[in-house]
Amino acid sequence: MTINDAVAYRIIKLLNEKHITQYRLEKISTIPHGAMHRILTGKNKTITMTTFFKIASAFDMTIQDFMNDKIFLLHNLEID
């Protein structure tokens, strides 16, 4: 699993846990629909720190809180 896949997985998990729609996340984070769609479908191969921060903030989390999931353990990720 790539880091981008892990970010998408974590976003989807948080959307479900917090009962937030993708549309609402896009509005809170100010990330355009197309960009969010590319992140969530794995078409986006990179994610900027600004986008990462906006997503975490939209969930009312720090980046550290966002990454506090076993999906981000190094043995789960392909690091190029």
Tens-digit pLDDT profile for residues 4-48 = 899 999 999 999 999 999 999 999 999 999 999 999 998 988 889
Torsion angles phi and psi, residue 62, rounded to 5: -85, 170
For residues 41 and 7, what is the distance between their CA atoms, to the nearest angstrom?
11
User: For the whole model, what pTM was predicted?
Assistant: 0.90
**pLDDT of 49-79, one tens digit each?**
999 999 999 999 999 999 999 988 877 788 7
For residues 80 and 62, what is the distance between their CA atoms, to the nearest angstrom?
25
